[in-house]
Amino acid sequence: MSASVIRKLGTELIHHPYSPPPGFAAPQPGVFKASSVFFPNVAAMRQFEWKDKTAYTYGLHGTPTTYTLEERLCTLEGGRQCLLTPSGLAAIATVSLALLKSGDEVLLPDNVYGPSKALAKGELANWGISHRFFDPMHPHDLAAKIGPNTRLVWLEAAGSVTLEFPDLCEQVRICKAAGVLCALDNTWGAGLAFQPFDLHPGARPELAVDISIHALTKYPSGGGDVLMGSIITVDEALHMKLKLCHMRLGLGVAANDAEAVLRGLPSLMLRYQAHDEAARALAQWSLTRGEFAQVLHPALPQSPGHAQWCRLCHTGPGGAAGLFSVIFKPYYSQAQVDAFCDALQLFEIGYSWGGPVSLVMPYALAQMRQVWPDQLQAGTLVRFSVGLEAVTDLQADLQQALKNFA
């Protein structure tokens, strides 16, 4: 080939005249990957607005793939606007950074997702933003702790690891009465167990959280192979404040990851129901075992906050996530509890949840809390995330691991 033919080929392979015919329809939306996005001319480039999703300006600000995922997540959670972040924790951090400044205070429930505490203690404190923890099971403690500098209250239902179910409606009512924004970590409910923007469906539409964040890493992904978060709102001005911070921080998600979550959404409800049914069966079975001082799952009448769970969530399949925890009787040593975890064959030792594989993790609760909660028994806590394996096999696995450990 002559040098000029080679040069021409090099250009033609980039600027190719072929466009596929329009009208392609298939179950899944396409994956659009871009940093650069082309404008038809300079005037159009100057005119295009990235904020309102009427066009495209830059890959970081949205592609057809991410817009589609955002809209579907709004439908899932009953919100109007959505931002995507590279992880659930990044969604939490973005909300705090967008809404808080030096001199402000943020309140967190004492059973909040652990890294959310670390963010407040480690980073927000450096920015001159203070924090306090409130007792999630006593709404009057939240009311008492809201002070003149409180600008944001984080809420979580059920609580991380210990799964106490708070009176979310009362907590939201307290925040509204004080004129303080409330943000919910809605990862457990996943938009399915209850509606964060309509906590009293029909009756009291004003009872809504201001912001719902969701670790899509968990159930929406469903594969244990994607990290992503979302920030959902119903108020346009609040959304815009969050969106500007999100844009300035340069947060975005990869198109292949967005596609993976889009692929997970059609089966989300069925998976969530299956995780729920299996976790309830195993939690119920755990109640019959003498090794445990307490079994924590909001659908169990003995579990802290059960009455609140009954009021907020529908109690049938899909009314709870696939998580439960046990507290071993205090005479079992940490080494014995560790040996129990090691003896499990189907439950892998790992953080996170929402995927097909069941997971187990021991937690040092005393180091995670300001005070040992009065509704929890003393002893070592183990949290289970129930996957999609056959529940009889999972029960047999728990049974064999318990058999030899004492």
Ligand X SMILES: *Cc1c(COP(=O)(O)O)cnc(C)c1O
Number of residues engaging ligand X in binding (CB under 6 A)? 13
227 forms part of the interface with ligand X (CB under 6 A): yes
The CB-side HSE value for 353 (13 A sphere, CA atoms) comes to: 26
Alpha carbon distance 406, 396 (integer Å): 17
Query: Closest approach of Cβ 344 to ligand X, in Å?
Result: 21
Find the helix or strand (DSSP H, E) in which 261 lies. helix 255-264
Q: What single DSSP character describes residue 323?
A: E
* Closer residue to ligand X, CB minimum distance, 130 or 352: 352
352 forms part of the interface with ligand X (CB under 6 A): yes
Query: Closest approach of Cβ 123 to ligand X, in Å?
Result: 14
* Closer residue to ligand X, CB minimum distance, 64 or 362: 362
Query: Closest approach of Cβ 52 to ligand X, in Å?
Result: 27
Query: Closest approach of Cβ 116 to ligand X, in Å?
Result: 7
224 forms part of the interface with ligand X (CB under 6 A): no
221 forms part of the interface with ligand X (CB under 6 A): no
Query: Closest approach of Cβ 90 to ligand X, in Å?
Result: 7
* Closer residue to ligand X, CB minimum distance, 322 or 401: 322
Which residues share a beta bridge with 38? none
Binding mask 72-91 for ligand X (x = CB under 6 A): ---------------xxx--
Only segment of 34-42, 142-150, 191-199, 215-223 that touches ligand X (CB under 6 A): 215-223
Q: Where are the alpha helices (DSSP H) in 122-161?
A: 139-145
Cα-only R_g, the chain: 24
292-296 and 105-109 as β-strands: parallel, antiparallel, unpaired? unpaired
* Closer residue to ligand X, CB minimum distance, 227 or 357: 227
Is residue 86 a contact partner of residue 246, using CB atoms and an 8 Å limit?
no
| Residue appearing with tokens 């009362």 | 170
Query: Closest approach of Cβ 202 to ligand X, in Å?
Result: 28
Among 68, 111, 160, 233, binds ligand X (CB under 6 A): 160
229 forms part of the interface with ligand X (CB under 6 A): yes
* Closer residue to ligand X, CB minimum distance, 89 or 251: 89
* Closer residue to ligand X, CB minimum distance, 88 or 318: 88
* Closer residue to ligand X, CB minimum distance, 113 or 272: 113
- 221 contact partners, CB below 8 Å, separation of at least 6: 228, 260, 261, 264, 354, 355
Binding mask 387-406 for ligand X (x = CB under 6 A): --------------------
303 forms part of the interface with ligand X (CB under 6 A): no
Query: Closest approach of Cβ 88 to ligand X, in Å?
Result: 2
Q: What single DSSP character describes residue 6?
A: H
Q: Angle formed by the axes of helices 268-287 and 391-403, to 10°?
A: 30
217 forms part of the interface with ligand X (CB under 6 A): yes
Q: Which SS3 state, helix, strand or coil, does residue 90 take?
A: helix
Is residue 344 a contact partner of residue 398, using CB atoms and an 8 Å limit?
yes
Query: Closest approach of Cβ 159 to ligand X, in Å?
Result: 9
The CB-side HSE value for 377 (13 A sphere, CA atoms) comes to: 19
Query: Closest approach of Cβ 254 to ligand X, in Å?
Result: 14
Which two structure tokens, joined as six digits, stand for 264? 């997970």
* Closer residue to ligand X, CB minimum distance, 214 or 405: 214
Among 104, 110, 185, 257, binds ligand X (CB under 6 A): 185
Among 32, 56, 113, 309, binds ligand X (CB under 6 A): 113
Query: Closest approach of Cβ 187 to ligand X, in Å?
Result: 4
Alpha carbon distance 262, 4 (integer Å): 45
Q: Shortest CA distance to 77 belongs to which of 174, 176, 255, 215?
A: 215
CA quadruple 130, 145, 363, 378: dihedral, nearest 10: 140
111 forms part of the interface with ligand X (CB under 6 A): no
Cβ neighbour number for residue 39 with a 10 Å cutoff: 15
Q: Which SS3 state, helix, strand or coil, does residue 339 take?
A: helix
Omega before 158 cis (within 30°)? yes
* Site for ligand X, rule CB under 6 A: 87-89, 113, 160, 185, 187, 215, 217-218, 227, 229, 352
